[in-house]
Structure 1
Amino acid sequence: MNTDVLTADIASSESLLPWFDELRSFLNEGKFAPWGAVVEQQLQGVLHDNEHGDQRRWLDALYSLPDLEQVNCDLTAHDLALTSTNISNEQQAAVLAAVQGLIPWRKGPFQFFDTHIETEWRSDWKWDRVAPHLSPLHGRVVLDVGCGSGYHMWRMLGDGAARVIGVDPSRLFLMQFQAVKKYAEVALGKLPADLLPLKMEDVPPRLKAFDTVFSMGVLYHRKSPIDHLQELRDTLRPGGELVLETLVIDGPLGEVLMPEDRYAMMRNVWFLPSPETLLLWCRRVGFKNARIVDLNQTSLQEQRSTDWMTFNSLKDFLDPSDINKTAEGYPAPLRAVVIAEA
C-alpha cells in the first residue's frame, strides 16, 4: 500500500483510487474491457462521499499500521497468518491499536503477528466445507460477490487463483481488506486480489468473462433471487463455475419461506427455498449440473460474539428455549452450497 497518497484530505476519492490502478489496467483488456470502460467512473461515484460513515476514522487506523520490511504470509492457513521475526514491541502495539480501530471484524479469522482476530464468523469453517467440491482454482479468474472483508478471497488466491476480484459496498470491509493486503504484499509481492466497494449491479451485464463466481450469503438478501442467479450466470464464461451458498429450509420441491417481517432478527431476508426448489431456480436460468454439495445448520460456535465483534450474534437471534428455531419461530439457519456450470 502506498502511504504517500495520504494527505490532510485523507478520505478523498483521490487518495483511495490508486489502490485500484493495477486492477483498472487489467480490466481494460480482453473480455473484461466493458468493465474497464466504466470502473473508474463507478469508483469515483462511490468514493466521492468523503464523510461517509466512519471512513476518516477507519483510514486513520489503516494508515497507522507500521511499515515492516520482513513479513511472512501463509494464504493457506486458517487464520491467514501474518508473521515476522523482526517486529518490535512498539510495532506490535501499533498493529494492535490499528486493527482495533477497524472493529467490528465479522469475517475471518486473521492473525496480525501476535494479535489474533477472533471474528464473529468462523469463515474458515465455511471454506473447509466448500473447497473440496470446487473445480481447481489454479489459473482461474474469480469473482466473489458480497465478499465481506475478503477472507475467502485470500483463501482463493492461496489455492492458486490467477486473480480474485471481490465486490462489496461496505467501506469498513474495504479497510480491513487493505490492512491484510498491506502486509501480505510485503511478504509475497504484488498480489492479484482487489476488493471493489461496489454492488453486484455494478458488474456490467452479460460480461461472460469469469472462470468462477462465488455468491455466498447473498441470495436471501435479494428481493428477486432469480434475477441474482441470472446476473451470476451472465458474469461467467461458457463452462464457468458457480459456487452459491445461501439459506434454505427443509421441504419438497416448490416450497419457499418468505418471512412475515424479520428472519433471525434480519429485516432484509426475502426468500428461503427448499434445496430442490433452489436447484430448480438454477436450472431455470440456464445453469447445468446444479447440485447440492453441502447442507449445514449454522452452529453457535461458527457465528458468535467475540472481543472483536461485541454486538448481538446468532444466539441472540434464536429462540432461547429451542436453538432449532429463530426468535420469530422459523426454522434456524440452514445453509446449502450449490455448484453448477454456466
Structure 2
Amino acid sequence: MTNKDNYCVIMGGGIGSRFWPFSRKTLPKQFLDFFGTGRSLLQQTFDRFNKVIPVENIFIVTNDMYADLVKEQLPGLKADQILLEPTRRNTAPCIAWAAYHIRALNPKANIVVAPSDHLILKEGEFLESIKKGLDFVSHSDKLLTLGIKPNRPETGYGYIQIAEKESTDFYKVKTFTEKPELELAKVFLESGEFYWNSGLFIWNVNTIIKAVQELLPELAENLELGNEAYGTQSEKAFIDENFPACPNVSIDFGIMEKADNVYVSLGDFGWSDLGTWGSLYDLSPKDMNKNVILKCQSLIYDGKDNIIALPEGKLAVIEGLEGYLIAESDNVLLICKKDEEHAIRKYVNDVQIKLGEDYI
C-alpha cells in the first residue's frame, strides 16, 4: 500500500540549452523522446515515481509557457497538480513554493524532489532507495540527498564528501563541491569519500520549510502566504506577484551547502543526468566505429566517435570527421567538436543576440 503522506515534486521548467538545437525554448528536452520509447523524459520520470507515490500526490513545477505541454503529456494530472512559475528563478524558489503548497494539503508530508530529465537504468534499486529515504525523513529532521558512486573523474557533476555513518544506508554530509577541475575530480574518485550529487532530494515538508526560513529568509518572506490561502484561487495571483522577487538561487547553494542536518543515501542504480550531448553519447548504442546515430539514416566514411542527430527520415553522408556533433532540428544545423560541447551555451547566446529568438 502506498503511503498517503508521501509526495513527489518533479521540476520541469528548464530550457535545456546544452541540448540545443534539439532542445528549444518552446519544446525543451524534458518533453522530448530521446530514445524512441514513446515516452518523453518527463513522462518516464512520472511513470517511475507513480510506482511508489499516489498519482494525486505528484506535482509538476514548470514555467507558465509549458502548461499545455504538461497537460498534453500527463493528462491524468489535475490542474492544481501543475504549479506554473511566472518566471524562472532556479531550483530553490520552485522547491520552496511546492513545499508551501504541499504543506497546506498535508502538514505531515514527506517529499521527494526530482529533475524531469534523469535516466535511471536500474529502476527497482532506485525505487527501493526512494522508499528507504522517505521512511528515514518521516521520523527525523534531516535533509536527504542521493549520492551516486562515481565511475570516472567527471567534471560536469557536483560532488558530495561523506562523513560518519548514521545507519546502514545513510551518511552525514561533510562537504559539497561544485563541478571540480579534472585533477581534483581524479583525487575525489581515488579517495573513495566522494560521490556524485544526483540532484535528487528527500525531506519532510516541515524540515525543508524551516531550512528556507533560516537560510533563505528573503525567499521565505516572498512565499509566506499562509496555509489557508495555498491551494485556493488566490495562490496563483500571489505567486505571479511575488515569485519574480524571489532570489535566483539553487537549492544546493542556498540550502544544502549551508545546512548542518544534510545526509546522503548512497545508490548504484544506473543513474545519469541526461544534461548534455556527451551524456547522451555515453548512453546510446554505437556502431563499430563508435558513432552514435539518432533517428536519421547515415553513411559514414572514415569517421568515428561522432554523434549524428537529424530529423527522422533524413540521410547524413559524412566523410573524414572524428569526434564531432552534427545535430539538426527545425531551422538550425549545428556542427561542432563533441568534446567542446560546453561552448553550446555560448553559441545559443550569440545566436540570440545576433539573430533573435527564432533560432532558440
| TM-score, scaled to structure 2 | 0.30
Highest RCO, 1 vs 2 (Cα 8 Å, sep ≥ 6): 2
| TM-score, scaled to structure 1 | 0.31
Q: Report the structure number with the largest CA radius of gyration.
A: 2
